Structure 1
Amino acid sequence: MAAFISVWSHGLKSFLTMLGIIIGVASTIAIISVIEGFGNSIYEQFEGFGSNSLTLRSYTSPSDQLQGKFAKITAQDVDEIKGKVKGVEFITPTLISRSGESAISFKNLQTFGQVYGTTYTYKDIQNIELKSGRFLSYNDNNTRRKVAFIGDELRLKLNLPEIPDGEFIKYRDEWFKVIGVAKPKGTFFGIEQDNYLIIPYETMKGLNGQGWIPDIFLQLELKDINDLDSVKLALQTILRKQHNIVDEQDDFKIETSEQLTSGISNILSILTVVLGGIVAISLLVGGVGIMNIMLLSVTERTREIGICKAIGARRSDILLQFLMEAIIISGAGGFIGICLGYFISATTSLFIPGFPPSEVPLWSVMLASGFSITIGIFFGIVPAFKAANLNPIDALKYE
């Protein structure tokens, strides 16, 4: 109680002492929660990938890129995989417009958006929800129909009706009938997720003509998870033969959903540790500040300590009082820092457009609380011992 009264009676000095702890804890909580929210939003992008799914993409080494050589997964590769790889439930090939964002028009309006050529299974893999109409069907792709499924942002840019099903939009001098619109996902770190046009895979192949060799991104769903290793081996064997690879490394990547999420998790974990470690330095600075102020407090209260000892206070009583003062200061600073950090993390997404909502994990609060109290004990022990070891006669003589 005496320790609390002492801290309260020197309110401004106590607050300035705990400022380093407040900043350190608030920064730690804010950074960890922002990274946690960012990670969870990324994991949501992979929710559609089951544990028995594979992704296949081309890979070009940095040295080959410098030489202007770029690997591709071609339509011939896809045909070989469809005909020879056993244990695959379905294959979802995706073509992306070769010029990046492409011109798309409706009546007298023109805008730019990302164009994909894919199949009906793309909807489930990408967790696309319908706002109106329908998604691509098997027959749309099989008969090369000129139909289009669009994102809601593209609908707005083209000033299409709320339910634009049946309207015709123009892409690459061809007219496509709109068959459906996706529910908006919003922006992600400033990147618009709803500004796209999806057409059947075979239709897009026909539009690009024979002279263009596309780079195809493949997603494969397996019939049985136990076939995962055999399917990966079959894919590797076929593609190495198709690409005439003998001793060189693969010019493609085969990854499972677990590998994708594990890689992201490792990156985020490293980022959390590094950034958390950097801001935690301010906690050490705050601890040094506590020790300095407590040492000064011992000097200022030398006579008070002498009086306490003269009337019967034990060495342990003096030690405990000064140690408790340090713990109260650091603990209060930690509590304020946690509240401030939570406020910062909660409001970050409001001020940064497209920023994913932050999430404050319980372990980060416990870590910050424990660390701040530990700082108080560690840096308060020296001043406490100095106060407890004062000679009562010398302390009473101190002016």
Structure 2
Amino acid sequence: MNLRERFDFALHNLRYRQLRTWLTVLGIVVGIASIIILVGLAGGLKASVEKKLSQFDASTIIIMPTNLEKSGFTGFSSITPTTGKLYERDYLKVKNVEGVKSITRIINNRAPVAYRGKIISSSIYAVEPEVFKETASFTVGEGRFLTDADRGAAVLGYSVAHDSFDEEINVGSTIEVAGRKYQVVGILEKTGSSFTQFDNAIFIQFDEGRTIFSDLLLPNEVSSMRAVVAPGYDVGEVRDRIEQVLLNTHKVHEEDKDFSVIDSTTIGEQVNSIINILTIFLGAVAIISLLVGAIGVSNTMFMAVMERTHEIGVLKAIGATKGDILLTFLIESGIIGFVGGIIGIILGIMFSVILGIFGVETMITPELVVASSLFAFAVGMAAGLIPAKNASDVPAIEALRYE
């Protein structure tokens, strides 16, 4: 038989037992669909992170009172300080580091915010406006941002203004932060960034923040600092200089440091490390489900060999070689894998589209689709290899006697 005849013969045998064939195909479908969905989710997460990182100013360095290498990193809003503290003396030391163009202190904590009878807890950023604007990526949608001369003024994140209260807050409205009245002078555009959470923040003057949070902070303590690297200087080198200055100021060694000095490269490395681990885990889960489907293919092919033992004897009697028998059964198992792969890819893409409608980003590349279809075919062939080998080794005389 030529290859076309073997292919037609394999299709005929698969159609003969359609229910069993489709149940076997279903196992491959589930496995491939899982690979498409889970790997697509991991790819979408990575693309989303890279997009948000691209908005992070490459010349900005952030100093925080926590060791990210020990605490982990999923975004600035999720970091809980350890025993580390930053003080005004740290600010003055970093300000004089070669390559630092400007630096700003930040006080960040939560406080009750009241508007027209409703009270919420919101993240408050007390900042030095002019320098802070250089270090943070945001756009003012309504009104303006703070100036160094402002007192009793506040700028709201998009969600605070539009989603947090029963009524939307407009520029010119008055809110209360920790019992103090503030006039809203600006509202930020929606950022959607999980790194900064500016959508849920309120910005006020630095000195006013120190007053509000005086009971929560030590004298001269600051929550974090942001520095801008001067043009012509390498960000990594300036970051290392700042880190060394703080190690000396805090009198700690590298392995015991109670602070972090991070830039866009540091953030990218931390986040990509987490995403790579997640991708491996999700891929492993998907492959396990595919292996379960492969066991189903192997079981089906073993049953097919037993049921068609007499047929194998007839084929050998009319001149079929061991290679012919082996290839015939391998084609059958390969078809099961390939068909299951194609259906699984289609269902995986459909499910990913549905996730996209609900705002979950996925990324399915042509390479993933091609690799999944080839992998499904290879798994089918591999699962059918031992049954096919058994079929080819059946002696013709014994096979003809088999009923």
Under a length normalisation based on structure 1, what TM-score does the superposition of the two structures give? 0.84
CA contact (8 A) 2:135 2:227 kept: no
The equivalent residue for 2:34 is 27
The equivalent residue for 2:113 is 104
Q: Counterparts of 1:204-353 in structure 2 under 5 Å? A: 204-209=209-214, 212-213=217-218, 214-224=221-231, 226-245=233-252, 249-348=256-355
Structure-2 change in CA distance of 1:167 and 1:120 (3 Å): same
- Name which of 186, 194, 203 aligns with 1:180: 186
Give the Cα–Cα distance (whole angstroms) in 1 for the partners of residues 90 and 277 of structure 2.
Answer: 37
Structure-2 change in CA distance of 1:230 and 1:188 (3 Å): closer
The equivalent residue for 2:208 is 203
The equivalent residue for 1:357 is 361
1:326 Cα offset (Å): 0.4
1:380 Cα offset (Å): 1.4
Cα offsets for 1:209-253 (capped at 9, x unmatched) = 598334422232212464435423432343234334479832211
1:308 Cα offset (Å): 2.8
Structure 2 counterpart SS, 1:269: helix
CA contact (8 A) 1:166 1:179 kept: yes
1:74 Cα offset (Å): 1.7
CA contact (8 A) 2:190 2:199 kept: yes
Give the Cα–Cα distance (whole angstroms) in 1 for the partners of residues 70 and 393 of structure 2.
Answer: 66
CA contact (8 A) 2:154 2:203 kept: yes
Give the Cα–Cα distance (whole angstroms) in 2 for the partners of residues 271 and 39 of structure 1.
Answer: 10
1:25 Cα offset (Å): 1.7
Structure 1 counterpart SS, 2:126: strand
Cα offsets for 1:246-294 (capped at 9, x unmatched) = 7983221112311211121122112211231233122222222212211
Give the Cα–Cα distance (whole angstroms) in 2 for the partners of residues 54 and 115 of structure 1.
Answer: 21
CA contact (8 A) 1:330 1:376 kept: yes
CA contact (8 A) 2:323 2:392 kept: yes
Structure-2 change in CA distance of 1:19 and 1:126 (3 Å): farther
CA contact (8 A) 2:135 2:228 kept: no
The equivalent residue for 1:379 is 383
CA contact (8 A) 1:45 1:126 kept: no
1:339 Cα offset (Å): 2.1
Give the Cα–Cα distance (whole angstroms) in 2 for the partners of residues 224 and 210 of structure 1.
Answer: 39
The equivalent residue for 1:48 is 55
Structure 2 counterpart SS, 1:50: coil
Structure 2 counterpart SS, 1:283: helix
Q: Counterparts of 1:26-175 in structure 2 under 5 Å? A: 26-59=33-66, 70-82=83-95, 84-97=96-109, 100=110, 102-118=111-127, 119-120=129-130, 122-123=132-133, 125-136=135-146, 140-141=147-148, 143-156=149-162, 157-160=164-167, 164-175=170-181
CA contact (8 A) 1:25 1:334 kept: yes
Structure-2 change in CA distance of 1:346 and 1:17 (3 Å): same
CA contact (8 A) 1:305 1:318 kept: yes
The equivalent residue for 2:5 is none
Q: Which amino acid aligns with 1:194?
A: D
1:96 Cα offset (Å): 0.8
RMSD: 3.2
Structure 1 counterpart SS, 2:199: coil
Structure-2 change in CA distance of 1:215 and 1:45 (3 Å): farther
Give the Cα–Cα distance (whole angstroms) in 1 for the partners of residues 40 and 297 of structure 2.
Answer: 27
CA contact (8 A) 2:57 2:136 kept: no
Structure 2 counterpart SS, 1:308: helix
Structure-2 change in CA distance of 1:245 and 1:93 (3 Å): same
Give the Cα–Cα distance (whole angstroms) in 2 for the partners of residues 359 and 380 of structure 1.
Answer: 32
Cα offsets for 1:62-107 (capped at 9, x unmatched) = 89xxxx982211233213322x11212332433212xx3x211234
Under a length normalisation based on structure 2, what TM-score does the superposition of the two structures give? 0.83
Give the Cα–Cα distance (whole angstroms) in 1 for the partners of residues 378 and 227 of structure 2.
Answer: 51
Q: Which amino acid aligns with 2:117?
A: N
CA contact (8 A) 1:152 1:181 kept: yes
Give the Cα–Cα distance (whole angstroms) in 2 for the partners of residues 193 and 144 of structure 1.
Answer: 20
Structure 2 counterpart SS, 1:194: helix
Structure 2 counterpart SS, 1:127: coil
Q: Percent identity?
A: 28
Structure 2 counterpart SS, 1:49: coil
Give the Cα–Cα distance (whole angstroms) in 2 for the partners of residues 107 and 279 of structure 1.
Answer: 51
5+ residue gaps, structure 2: 1-7, 72-80
CA contact (8 A) 1:104 1:113 kept: yes
Q: Which amino acid aligns with 1:48?
A: Q
